[in-house]
Structure 1
Amino acid sequence: MTVALLAATATAALAAGCAQSHPSDDGRGRTKPPSPVPTSPTPTPTRSATSHGHVLAVKIDNAPDARPHTGLRQADVVYVEQVEGGLSRLMAVYASTLPKAVGPVRSARESDLELLRQYDHPTLAFSGAQHKLLPLIARAPLKAEPPEKASDAYFRGSDRAAPHNLYLRPARLMRTAPGPGALTNGFRYGPAPDGGRPDTSLTVRYPAARFTFTWSASRHGWLVAMDGRPSRTTDGQPVAPATVVVQYVTMRKSRFHDFLGNNTPFTDTVGSGRAKVLRDGKAYDVDWKRAKATDGTDFTTNDGRPVDFAKGQVWVVFAKAS
């Protein structure tokens, strides 16, 4: 499946589509429509291994109608979080590579602001937010880039219905990828730690979502399945991160609700707790610690030794601590 751009003759429909927000998405009705999107060729992806800049974080829809995703395999880090109704959303963080397109893009949550504090003034691309959350986003130490602010960076795909068809052109927000040095999240990469136990499959369940990670020696990664179906991106390739972290955290009620009255859970990513690291066909029981929001997250063995991740993409799945 490919993501097709709407033709220039359909720009009026495009603007209307960008203006509409899904009620269960942000609870604020409609957003300001962006200007019509040019149909000029998209710039090619760029790479930078040495420059230090600011990462791009993109909120990604994960409803069944939003799959397959676009540009997800190119992310350095993918966070999985629980949202209203026990569903899930993704946040993809890009530093090494900027893909041509990413999406579908959806709305921000309060938890995102705390999570992103460990990155140095990141750019956050999102479709919108509940109106009571907008002042918090405006005050957060990040560069907010929703469609009403950067309309030329977004487009509507013609292969699925709104709201699951809003996509981002990352190169319209930043000229080059900032490079791995922008990943100020405290993650370490290197040889596998001692110990661990052979483990080829693990499932994390939310009330209305399920993620299974299965080790693939041929791809040297963990094949992702969502709600029982293998995850592939729109280029036809499977999603197979080199490292999966299941981070057990406190999930509490926030002051925000969707239009149905479902509370938006707040995921506490500052503090400490248990985690499970999957890499190289093994599972490691570890501890995590993040003393304050501006700190990165440390993962250590029971005796305090740092845990290195395998080189490649990392998925961090936030699971409710028991």
Structure 2
Amino acid sequence: MRKSFVKILIIAAVALSVGGNLASAKILAIKGGTIHTLGKKGTLRNGVILIENGRIKRVGANISIPDGAEVIDATGKIVVPGFMHSGSYLGLSEISLTKDSNEHSAKKSPLSAAFDVRYGLKSNSVVVADNRRHGLTHAISQPSGSDGIFSGSGAVISLTNSPDMVFAKGPMIANPAKAGNRNLGWGKIRLILDQVTYYNDNRSRIMKGEGPGDFLLTSYNMDALVPVIKGRQKLVLMVDSVDDIRQAIALKKDYGIDVIISGAAEGWQVAQELAAAKVPVLINPQTNLPSSFGALASSFHNAAKLAEAGVEFAISPGGMARNHNAFMVAQMAGLAVAHGLDWDRALRAI
């Protein structure tokens, strides 16, 4: 179970991710490797992946390779699907210290919930290309913050460096800590959700000036939150502590919204509650030391404990691993395996 991710040579989603001969070949066959399909076929020894015109057509142990196909011999190697980072800045930042190459922040602007990163993604990003070279094929690119609790909407992207790299609109991001303290944070989130619900139900009256005039957000920022209260867009809450995780669970129950928790450093302590509420989490397996009072119970065993309880989770490291080194999701998965997480479960988390 402690196989090294360093042994991974080829990504099964190679047609989506690499340039040159592999992407342009009409028929490509990857043969001889140990294929972790992460699907019903499970793990295949000495398997074959057949790719035609850039799309995976067949995966199996007894597949005939057509004449003229380009063949990659993966004998003795591990073949896995392309990796994914679920909370990156990919396509939004080239050089961290230069303002003109960073598009992920809504700070010092009137936008908060209405901020949408899809409009500023760089299709020719060299950071995207480099991460693709390391096996990352998909990501959620998200805003880093605003002057409010809500940071805006992310984007689900394919690391193709093409103009159509955006698959879909991503989740809404919110950080209760931006309010100043926990009471303010959760109080404001609930008040804002109440106001957005009222605003959506009474829009015509409000536009005529017949409604209240003390909304916490502007109309365009409230408009951006309507898909959240309608359950059409996921809300990612950036919290770590047991108490904040419970507040997030309560928010889902009270408002019927689709909640994901990002961080969840103390998630292992309330794993059963997360599983019962069906609230998925995004975690960094490297989090072991408390970075705040909300993360005092951080543990390398977080991933293993969450998996044991049946919590759905994905691995989403921060820092440099959020952008330039986003491919380190594989290393973080290996770290989780070293502390008790099942190898295949770690692979599914990336």
**What band does the TM-score fall into relative to the shorter chain?**
under 0.3
Structure with more of its chain in strand, by fraction: 1
Larger Rg: 2
Structure with more of its chain in helix, by fraction: 2
What's the TM-score, normalizing by structure 2? 0.22
| Larger relative contact order, structure 1 or 2 (CA cutoff 8 Å, min sep 6) | 1
What's the TM-score, normalizing by structure 1? 0.24
